[in-house]
Amino acid sequence: MSFYVLKRNVPIEESYDVVVAGGGPAGAAAAVCAARSGAKTLLIEATGCLGGMGTSGLVTAFDPMANGVEAMVGGFMREVVEELYERKFLGSKVTPEQWRKHFLAWIPFNVEGYKLILDEKMTAAGVEVRFFTRVIDAEADASDKRVKGIVIHNIEGYSFIAAKAFIDCTGDAVLADLCGADCWEAGRDTPRIMPATLPSLFAGIDWERVRRYWKEEGHEQGNGVIRKGIADGMFVQPDPFLVGMSQIGPTVGYLNGGHLFNLNALRCSELSRNVMLGRRIAQDYLAFYRKYIPGYEKMEHVTTASLIGVRESRRIKGEYVLNIDDYMARREFPDQIGIFNKFVDIHPYDTSEEEYQRFMKEKDQQLRMNVGESFGIPYGILVPKGWQNLWVAGRCASSDVRVHGSIRVQPACAMMGQAAGTAAAQSIRLKQSACELDTAELVTTLRKDNALLPQKEISSEMTRGSAT
């Protein structure tokens, strides 16, 4: 490859205490919690709204937040859910028991309500938000492992922003990679890439009839109707795993369907080709649901998502790598910043029957927590190994592929974001670097801020290790 050397003067802006890249569930939590802790905080978001995959990606349900006995997810995430509920932005059948107690209870929400509440929380906390702005470069000292500043781009052009602390919540570890932090890349460092999906919204659904059908004929994921549709030639891609359609309004549904297999989300050409394929597949699902399932006959396709639903792309190599042994042992960490219990959800890697059976087995038997069980998410998975003022929260935090299949969902990402934002503010206040942070102090602050952290022992030293 040849290179063109671009020379330009980039304006230097005023500096901040904390800059957060990406405003999904992790970034929104990180920015608000940093600002509430007294840090002058800037949030950079590439799209025009907060919420990430939950809004621009149309993933309109939060994964379970309780373990069947008690709530696991508190803090900022719980605050958002409670406000969505009070303002009638959750599904009409949702009750508080769903996030306080129930096992495997997804929480559907209204996308516009979620956007609005996140906007309001940013304003109330004093976070400066820049939409339609992308982090495109970083100035970092790789030997000292310290980030000096970032380059952003928006309609006003380029600018350079310095800060004391940086939090990467881009989902793809974009900032960490630009800084030169070590990362795993799906496809390069793993034999296979978990498929992506382009979700859609549909309207005009008669949910009572749909529910009656599934009750009588069997649940979507175990139902043979999708195989009938495939046999009848309804799909350009014969995928036997139908994740399904969820109710999110009186007549509205969100389709988590149409896998985009082996998509390398770090390649623009693949993103472009697959978003087109996703739109094509959405039309197949529209025709399929209308034809085969009572209640969907008059369904209309409202829109596909403006972000591709990427499940796996880049993850940092952190001070700790959360791994499947920790998961199976239901390990508790002194420095855990959250607890969680989602099953290991690694979607089929292709359309074969063997892959479908592997997926169903993992999900239903081995890699699943029981009622009342959980595992800890330690602080060290948020810190790229050895870095002084860089944190990474959300889908691109440090774990092995299987645990990633559990913690990549919105409530877990929000807990990581809250911890990263709080830690960044603490590091500035107490002059502690990210990789030497007093984690007893962090856990104490998070508990005061309503995080649910039941560990009996806490420790000033983070748990370290990179077994995988």
Ligand X SMILES: Cc1cc2nc3c(=O)[nH]c(=O)nc-3n(C[C@H](O)[C@H](O)[C@H](O)COP(=O)(O)OP(=O)(O)OC[C@H]3O[C@@H](n4cnc5c(N)ncnc54)[C@H](O)[C@@H]3O)c2cc1C
Binding site for ligand X (CB under 6 A): 21-27, 44-47, 52-54, 56, 59, 61-63, 106, 134-135, 169-171, 174, 197, 199, 256, 309-311, 394-395, 408-411, 413
Please state the closest distance from residue 447 (CB atom) to ligand X, in A: 23
Nearer to ligand X by C-beta: 272 or 444?
272
Nearer to ligand X by C-beta: 245 or 438?
245
3-state secondary structure 156-196: CEEEEEEEEEEEECCCCCHHHHHHCCCEEECCCCCCCCCCE
Report how far apart the first and last C-alpha atoms of the chain are (Å, whole number).
33
Please state the closest distance from residue 374 (CB atom) to ligand X, in A: 16
Nearer to ligand X by C-beta: 265 or 367?
265
Rounded Cα distance between 445 and 440, Å, is 9
Please state the closest distance from residue 2 (CB atom) to ligand X, in A: 25
Residues facing residue 129 across a β-bridge: 43
Q: Which residues, at least 6 apart from 152, have a Cβ–Cβ distance to it below 8 Å?
A: 44, 130, 133, 134, 135, 136, 158, 159, 161
Please state the closest distance from residue 204 (CB atom) to ligand X, in A: 22
Rounded Cα distance between 331 and 324, Å, is 10
Task: Give the residue among 241, 264, 271, 267 at the shortest CA–CA distance from 193.
Answer: 264
Rounded Cα distance between 186 and 422, Å, is 29
Nearer to ligand X by C-beta: 122 or 334?
122
Please state the closest distance from residue 10 (CB atom) to ligand X, in A: 16
Please state the closest distance from residue 296 (CB atom) to ligand X, in A: 20
Nearer to ligand X by C-beta: 53 or 105?
53
Name the residue with tokens 């980039």: 10
* Alpha carbon separation from 14 to 37, 42, 153, 421 (Å, rounded): 20, 11, 16, 20
Please state the closest distance from residue 365 (CB atom) to ligand X, in A: 21
Rounded Cα distance between 172 and 396, Å, is 6
* Alpha carbon separation from 421 to 168, 244, 287, 389, 407 (Å, rounded): 10, 34, 45, 12, 18
Helices marked H in 37-182: 75-86, 97-100, 111-125, 174-179
Nearer to ligand X by C-beta: 199 or 376?
199
Rounded Cα distance between 273 and 258, Å, is 14
Rounded Cα distance between 211 and 222, Å, is 15
Nearer to ligand X by C-beta: 196 or 438?
196
Q: Which residues, at least 6 apart from 39, have a Cβ–Cβ distance to it below 8 Å?
A: 16, 17, 18, 165, 421, 424, 425, 428
Distance of CA 225 to the CA centre of its chain: 31
Rounded Cα distance between 261 and 351, Å, is 9
Please state the closest distance from residue 254 (CB atom) to ligand X, in A: 9
Please state the closest distance from residue 153 (CB atom) to ligand X, in A: 9
Nearer to ligand X by C-beta: 66 or 334?
66
Please state the closest distance from residue 106 (CB atom) to ligand X, in A: 6
Nearer to ligand X by C-beta: 334 or 338?
338
Rounded Cα distance between 436 and 144, Å, is 14
Nearer to ligand X by C-beta: 42 or 59?
59
Please state the closest distance from residue 431 (CB atom) to ligand X, in A: 28
Nearer to ligand X by C-beta: 195 or 229?
195
